[in-house]
Amino acid sequence: MTALLHLDASPRPGRSGTDEHGSHTRRLTDHFVSQWRRQRSGDAVMRRDIGARPPALTTVEWIQAAFTAPDRHQPWMREVLAESDALVQEVLDADILVLGVPMYNFSYPAAFKAWIDNIVRVGRTVDFDPSNLEDPFTPLLADRPRRAVILSSRGGFGMNPGGPLAHLNHLEASIRTALGFIGIERFHEIAIEHQEEGGERLEASIADALSRVDALVDELQWSRETVPACA
């Protein structure tokens, strides 16, 4: 059985194509999960809507708790880290992270950054050995293959790799860096463009993205059925 983590970072509550002013990224994540479950209805899907309920920001109390050895945790420290622990566990349990992340000012929304800050945890998702001067960090999620599917939307266009405005796009690269740091190294990226422009170009971009989601679901389901879990 494959476990999916379905995460949405858009503050827009609805989906484009269904709700007025709905989110394009929510439309893509919903389409991915719906297509996946159409073929594999028994697979587990964990749902996390950080657009509606953003994770808490990092505080001095959080830092103190996170960098205190677990056997020395006081009750208030466990309480401070409870949400982070839950977010970390969802990532640990997932085989595929389905991430709906719109582009805001060249990168991702603050709620998604808060999620990243909660799941990149020394002792939980990455280890730190100061005696190793070449590379003191060891990712803890490299124990088995995990994938991240990044489903994004952009107001402009030409921001895909090789595009004329690719240098302005810091969204996917930043996600790859953070998740790769903890051991997730297989990525798939699909984005809708032309949102600000609207019209035929936006509709064509939406249709292309939905088609690519369909193809990706087929590809991933085929690979999980034919490739051993230890590969």
**Pairing between strand 126-128 and 147-153?**
unpaired
- 224 annotated to bind ligand: no
- 157 annotated to bind ligand: no
- 153 annotated to bind ligand: yes
- 105 annotated to bind ligand: yes
Angle at 31 between CA 25 and CA 33, to 5 degrees: 105
Question: Rounded to whole angstroms, how far apart are CA atoms 151 and 189?
Answer: 6
Angle at 120 between CA 89 and CA 184, to 5 degrees: 75
Secondary structure (3-state) at 83: helix
Angle at 201 between CA 175 and CA 197, to 5 degrees: 75
Find the helix or strand (DSSP H, E) in which 208 lies.
Answer: helix 199-226
- 106 annotated to bind ligand: yes
- 103 annotated to bind ligand: yes
Question: Could you give phi then psi for residue 95, rounded to 5 degrees?
Answer: -95, -35
Question: Rounded to whole angstroms, how far apart are CA atoms 167 and 186?
Answer: 22
- 37 annotated to bind ligand: no
Q: Give the residue ranges of the annotated binding site.
A: 10, 103-106, 153-156
Q: Give the residue ranges of the annotated binding site for FMN.
A: 10, 103-106, 153-156
